[in-house]
């Protein structure tokens, strides 16, 4: 199993840092992740958050590509209905070339109406548009309607669908599924069969929500306040542009207690030792072809050294446990050309 970390570069007001310093320390943390042997670095996309959530994942990965040599670089996700297929194809190809063929391109439909308003995009058609994007992007590359071509013969595309219907659609496309929930595997497998794809080539992966600690009780007060800030931000911004009232501030202890994985993929938080997290992952991925897993490198507002320590702990304590459960499978070629 490939093990990695996930960044959103939030800069919440209560812990605000100089943005130039924040982005500079992020690049140093990416170098740290590679140096401790992690396999992947993932970044994401949102717009208009008051905590400066990262808006341009592929732009950022171009910088990461120049600072790293081995680690794979992923988007989880690009909100594809906000962007033309040609724009995504061109930017992704450049990142793949800069990285020497290390890009994993995750695509998602989005869910916030203010983002669609900002980009003058149609929110009602977002699932249809996102479903069409992989074929459009691959056709643009293969036909050379956009140039240059990526370094990889076939760039892995991951569909950011968390529930059964989306899993089935990802399968029909023959693309990877960005979910670690084993309950989605039967639906994804059925979609692969319906699309004429070999289900033995199905690939799943995604985020595990949690924090790995060598002393969970000692660390919980610190982790909990940053987790609450993250959860509050997501919940507030998810309701912007809707008729739903803004939610009350979250109690982090309640999040910590909600351990069962839900189809939303985010309604839980595992705060424990590396073995606790490994056990959780084993339970919730059993029987599914989950080959990639990443955790938040840090939570909003955490000091860079705290995040660096977490990255080192993931590399030293968690990654070996997860890799021990690796299941070798035959995969389509994703090696660089030539």
The 10s digit of each residue's pLDDT in 45-77 is 999 999 999 999 999 999 999 999 999 999 999
Q: How confident is the model at residue 23 (pLDDT cuts 50, 70, 90)?
A: very high
Residue-level pLDDT at 255: 60
For 129, phi and psi rounded to 5 degrees?
-65, -45
* Cα–Cα dist 21/51, whole Å: 15
* Confidence at residue 264, expressed as pLDDT on a 0 to 100 scale: 42
pLDDT at 266: 52
So what's the pLDDT on residue 249?
A: 63
Return the percentage of the chain with pLDDT > 70, whole number: 88
pLDDT reading at 236 higher than 90: no
Residue 309 clears pLDDT 70, i.e. is over it = yes
Residue 162, classed as helix, strand or coil, is: coil
Instruction: Characterize the bridge pairing of strands 157-159 and 103-108.
Output: parallel
Domains and CATH numbers, the chain: 2-218+270-323 (3.20.20.30)
Q: How confident is the model at residue 183 (pLDDT cuts 50, 70, 90)?
A: very high
Q: How far from 75 is each of 62, 94, 145, 190, CA to CA, in Å?
A: 12, 14, 23, 25
Query: Nearest Cα to 298, choosing from 204, 215, 229, 206?
Result: 229
- Whole-angstrom Cα distance, residue 66 to residue 36? 18
Contacts (Cβ under 8 Å, ≥6 apart) of 41: 4, 5, 6, 7, 30, 33, 34, 64, 68, 71, 72, 73, 74
CA angle (334 as vertex; 329, 322 as ends), nearest 5: 45
The mean predicted confidence, pLDDT, of the chain is: 91
CA dihedral (37, 78, 179, 267) in degrees, to 10, reads 100
CA dihedral (312, 315, 233, 282) positive or negative: negative
What residue spans of the chain are helical by DSSP H?
19-35, 57-67, 85-98, 113-118, 126-143, 164-173, 185-194, 216-239, 252-257, 274-285, 304-313, 319-323
pLDDT higher than threshold 70 for residue 235: yes
Q: What distance in Å separates the CA atoms of residue 64 and residue 79, rounded to the nearest whole number?
A: 20
Rounded CA gap, 4 and 297, in Å?
8
- Alpha carbon of 91 to those of 95, 148, 151, 213: distances in Å? 6, 10, 13, 37
Model confidence band, residue 146 (pLDDT cutoffs 50, 70, 90): very high
**Per-residue pLDDT at 245 exceeds 70:** no
Q: Are 286 and 182 in contact (CB under 8 A)?
A: yes
Listed residue (90, 38, 34, 44) closest to 67, CA to CA: 34
**Distance of alpha carbon 295 from alpha carbon 314, whole angstroms:** 9
pTM recorded for the entire structure? 0.92
168 near 188, Cβ under 8 Å? Answer: yes
pLDDT band at 231 (very low <50, low <70, confident <90, very high): confident
Q: How confident is the model at residue 330 (pLDDT cuts 50, 70, 90)?
A: very low
Q: In 3D, which of 214, 91, 200 has the Cα closest to residue 150?
A: 91
| 177 neighbors 203 (Cβ within 8 angstroms) | yes
Longest CA–CA separation in the chain, Å: 56
């Amino acid at each position: 199993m490939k093990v990695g970390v996930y960044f959103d570069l939030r800069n919440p007001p209560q812990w605000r840092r100089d943005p130039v310093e924040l982005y500079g320390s992020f690049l140093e943390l990416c170098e740290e992740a590679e140096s401790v042997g992690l396999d992947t670095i993932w970044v994401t996309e949102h717009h208009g958050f008051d905590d400066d959530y990262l808006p341009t994942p592929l732009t950022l990965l171009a910088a990461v590509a120049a600072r790293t040599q081995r680690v794979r670089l992923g988007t989880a996700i690009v909100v594809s209905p906000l962007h033309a297929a040609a724009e995504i194809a061109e930017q992704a190809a450049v990142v793949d070339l800069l990285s020497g063929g290390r890009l994993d391109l995750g695509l998602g439909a989005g869910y916030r109406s203010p983002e669609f308003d900002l980009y003058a995009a149609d929110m009602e058609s977002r699932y249809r548009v996102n479903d069409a994007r992989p074929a459009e992007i691959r056709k643009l590359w293969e036909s050379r309607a956009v140039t240059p071509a990526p370094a990889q013969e076939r760039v892995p595309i991951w569909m950011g669908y968390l529930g059964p219907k989306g899993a089935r659609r990802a399968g029909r496309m023959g693309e990877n599924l960005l979910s670690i929930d084993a309950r989605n595997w039967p639906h994804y497998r059925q979609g692969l069969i319906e699309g004429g794809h070999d289900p033995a080539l199905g690939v799943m992966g995604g985020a595990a929500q949690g924090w790995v600690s060598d002393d969970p009780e000692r660390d919980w007060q610190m982790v909990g306040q940053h987790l609450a800030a993250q959860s509050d931000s997501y919940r507030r911004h998810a309701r912007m542009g809707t008729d739903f009232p803004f939610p009350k501030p979250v109690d982090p202890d309640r999040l910590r207690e909600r351990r069962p994985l839900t189809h939303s993929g985010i309604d839980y938080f595992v705060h424990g030792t590396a073995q606790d997290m490994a056990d959780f992952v084993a339970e919730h991925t059993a029987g599914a072809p989950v080959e990639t897993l990443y955790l938040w490198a840090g939570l909003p507002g955490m000091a860079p050294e705290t995040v660096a320590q977490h990255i080192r702990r993931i590399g030293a304590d968690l990654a070996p446990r997860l890799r021990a459960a690796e299941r070798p499978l035959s995969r389509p070629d994703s090696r660089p050309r030539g």
